[in-house]
Amino acid sequence: MEKEFKDKLVHFVQEALVEDVGAGDYTSLSTIKEDQLGQAQLLVKEPGILAGVDVAAEIFHQLDSDMEFEQLISDGSAVRPGDIAFRLKGNIHTILKGERLVLNIMQRMSGIATQTSKYVLAVAGTKAKVLDTRKTTPLLRFLEKKAVEIGGGVNHRFGLYDMILIKDNHVDYAGGISEAVKAAFAYKKLNDLGIQIEVEVRNFEELQEVLALPTVDRVMFDNFTPAQVQEAVAMVDGRLVTEASGGITLETIADYAKAGVDYISVGALTHTVKSLDLSLKAKLI
């Protein structure tokens, strides 16, 4: 687990436990001896792609470094009902304290990984890669984008700070594509920013304008049909990285991929997802 991700996870777990546990897990404190040991296992209850096992291990070890965590299935694996992802052995209070946090994360991440894997499968055999977006749950983006990776997708920019992405509102506020692009290059040079510039276009006229300007890194075709994307890709002729976006579904993504685009961004990977059904089953030692 990379350091930046782990640092975010440590902070997230601390905040999540404050929210959930507060002054204490009074149910466990009142019904179970504090030094009592137990076991538990993570049960898969529906088919999908598992994600968040490594996160679960880190959470339980943050809660109690003595917790025994036996991983049986790795992130990215296809699972089916009855599979056991991991087993725990340790303090019962710790198991119960981490139960809902781990389930909430793993169910959400596994749902995203499962959804992503379907889109990735739909574009198999083409050069297109499936991208996520910033349409994520606030403060959970690092986990949701990790789930996209686990499902076989590719992360787009993480936030507003790691790419200049000139979209329709930027163009309209700036007074046009030419004005926005020229200002972006000037700002990037002035501030010595080593980040890419991408421009969203809404029609062929805007695409022609982008192609006549100093070369940006990527162009996004927003709400183009597959036929229009194919024509736009031909116009770009390899000069820029190409991306299709806007209302692309599991039913239509293959047509966009066959149009020859490099990337296809899909907000539904993270904003419209059914969590995978998982359960943590307890057992006394």
Pairing status of strand 37-44 against strand 278-284: antiparallel
First to last CA, the chain: 31
66 catalytically annotated: no
- 222 tagged catalytic: yes
Contact call for residues 109 and 274 (beta carbons, < 8 A): no
Q: Which of 15, 33, 68, 100 is catalytic?
A: 100
Distance of CA 250 to CAs 154, 239, 254, 255, 269, Å? 16, 28, 8, 10, 10
The one-letter amino acid code at 190 reads L
Closest CA to 276 of 119, 137, 83: 83
68-71 and 197-201 beta bridge pairing: unpaired
Q: How would DSSP label each residue in 133-185?
A: -S-S-TT-HHHHHHHHHHTT-B---SSTTS-EEE-HHHHHHHTSHHHHHHHHH
* Residue type at 205 in one-letter notation: E
Name the catalytic one among 75, 132, 222, 262. Answer: 222
Task: Say which residue the tokens 């890709």 belong to.
Answer: 233
Candidate list 89, 129, 167, 218, residue with the active-site label: 167
Catalytic residue list contains 45: no
**Active-site residue among 75, 99, 132, 200?**
200
| 200 assigned to active site | yes
DSSP state of 73: S
Rg (CA), the chain: 23
Q: Which DSSP category does 275 fall into? A: P
Q: Of residues 135, 182, 202, 258, which has the active-site annotation?
A: 135
| Residues designated as active site | 100, 135, 167, 200, 222
